[in-house]
Amino acid sequence: MPKLSRILYIDDHQDILEIGKLALRKLGGFEVDTCAACSEALALAADPARCPDLIVMDYSMPEMDGRTLLDRLRTFPGWEQVPAVFSTAHGPEDQGGRLQGPGVIGQVRKPFDPLQLAARLRELWDAHHHAGADAAAPGPLS
């Protein structure tokens, strides 16, 4: 199983972005790139050396929704198979299935517990790599 070490965290709420980055770096030991806008994420994706192991992104952002952003990120070389986790205040039932789909390995429910964020992402990563990309991921972090 590949090791999870580099995460791209995308959220338009700066406070959530900073808390998530701090939790993932300090508690999870991950390398973390952050983007506060979809346009920033697309600019970062133009550099193949910045390709993460996992993308964690807010589903509801001003420029475009998370599914649209994920689809656009997947057009960049090297980004086609990067798994993603949506971060949202709404559950999958509220989104009519939009939080699921190819390459989406789970959800993190906002507000999340920063002390549990790294463990939750490792859980989703492990489930994805043990069961395969088409297996059902564990439920959202409450």
Instruction: Dump pLDDT digits (tens) for 8-56.
Output: 999 999 999 999 999 999 999 999 999 999 999 999 999 999 999 999 9
Go through the domains of the chain in sequence order and give each one's CATH number: 6-131 (3.40.50.2300)
- Nearby residues of 22 by Cβ (< 8 Å), 6 or more positions away: 114
Nearest Cα to 14, choosing from 35, 30, 33? 35
pLDDT of 137 strictly over 90: no
pLDDT above 80 (res 133) = no
Residue 123 has pLDDT above 80, yes or no: yes
